[in-house]
Structure 1
Amino acid sequence: MRPRHIPSILQFTKLIWQQVAASWNDTETAAVAVDGTVGNGHDTLFLAELVGEKGHVYGFDVQASGLANAQERLESASMAERVTLFHDGHEKVAERLPEETVVAGAMYNLGYLPGSDHAVITRAHTTIASLQALLPMLAANGVVTVHIYTGHEGGSAEGDEIQAWAATLSWKDFRVGRYDFPNKELNKEHLLVIEKL
């Protein structure tokens, strides 16, 4: 099979994050990242690697089974000390993070936890509440990525609401980009990238 030149959404997300993390090297401040949807911990581990030894990741999930899998994954990679996991909804981000925390970046991977109850899904109202709480904590040039899935019940409505909300963000304060494949017929996905100016 010939290599594809257009990256998948997952590949594009990682490219964005590697670029963001490269900018952290220009500062002496330890980077703080948020994983708004820990799931089984794949993104959490990715962020823990990016923040480095001085940085820290705060992760949120409502499902204990996912958090247990994430903890095991982090321990296996010797990254557990860089991460604090909360068994809580991501809308509690402002309450749970230490006061005056400045967030370098945040990642949200919406939908359901693979291998678990597909009825437990992220919801637009809690995701938007989380983003609204997080954006004031975001550093200048801080980035938030939101991977939206529509292949499950409620996914399209959630995606539409979040994209409509993101479109209302002030151009003076934020840039919002979107990456997707308009000719993908099934299980459409969208990646929102929000950068604070």
Structure 2
Amino acid sequence: MGFVSILSFAHKLIEERVQPGETVIDATAGGGVDTAFLARLVGPSGIVHAFDIQQQALDRTASRLEQECPGRDVRLHLRGHETMLDVIPEESHGRIGAVMYNLGYLPGADHETVTEPTSTLGALEASTQLIRRGGIITIVLYTGHRGGLEEAAEVERWAAALPQKHFQTLQYRFMNQINYPPYLIAVEKR
């Protein structure tokens, strides 16, 4: 029996905290894997907001949702994740169960379109305002692309500086893998 994969561990952390009927966010929709996971988790009475700056990503996500969990309330936003506070209705601020990130680029697409530290840090700050007590932010960091290591270092600094009184953070990573393996940072609001 091997260790749990990075993405599976992120899903496990969220499953332990999110209840059916909640509102959750996929901050980087990509191919829709996390969006579909969140839609199944919150069920037909929950809401998922999914953000991406590429129409191709939202199209892939919509296709996956049609096949895997039709009829769920998933709202696709062709916007950067740093605009979350503007998009999420104010009555949901401080009530979001989870926010998921997969940083890097859209697999199978242009590798020059990548997440950027400035917008990512803005989005992460917004996420801390949006999640409820006991809510979670998961950040899967892919570092094998241009700017990936720098973005990961910024995210690590941000997470380490969160006040312990209000947040707890953890890092989950495989240490002896080659070729820039992804790793996870998770933040829970106390």
Q: Paired residue for 1:38, among 25, 29, 53?
A: 29
Q: Which residue of 2 aligns with 1:84?
A: 75
SS of residue paired to 2:16: helix
Normalization by structure 2: what TM-score? 0.94
- 1: CA distance between counterparts of 2:122 and 2:29? 17
SS of residue paired to 1:171: coil
2:38 aligned with 1:19: no
Q: Paired residue for 2:126, among 120, 133, 150?
A: 133
Aligned pair count reads 188
What amino acid is aligned across from residue 19 of structure 1 in structure 2? E
Q: Which residue of 2 aligns with 1:149?
A: 142
Q: Which residue of 1 aligns with 2:4?
A: 7
The percentage of counterpart residues that share the same residue type is: 37
- 1: CA distance between counterparts of 2:175 and 2:110? 29
2:54 aligned with 1:63: yes
2:175 aligned with 1:182: yes
Which sits farther off after the overlay, 61-70 or 8-17?
Answer: 8-17
Q: Which residue of 1 aligns with 2:154?
A: 161
Q: Which residue of 2 aligns with 1:194?
A: 187
Normalization by structure 1: what TM-score? 0.91
Could you say what the CA RMSD is over the residues aligned between the two structures, in angstroms?
1.2
Q: Contact (CA 8 Å) 1:45, 1:79: kept in 2 or not? A: no
2:94 aligned with 1:97: no
Which sits farther off after the overlay, 187-196 or 6-15?
Answer: 6-15
- 2: CA distance between counterparts of 1:121 and 1:69? 17
| Structure 2 unaligned blocks of 5 or more | none
Larger radius of gyration: 1
Q: Contact (CA 8 Å) 2:44, 2:71: kept in 1 or not? A: no
Which of structure 1's runs of 4+ aligned residues deviate more than 6 A? none
| Structure 1 unaligned blocks of 5 or more | none
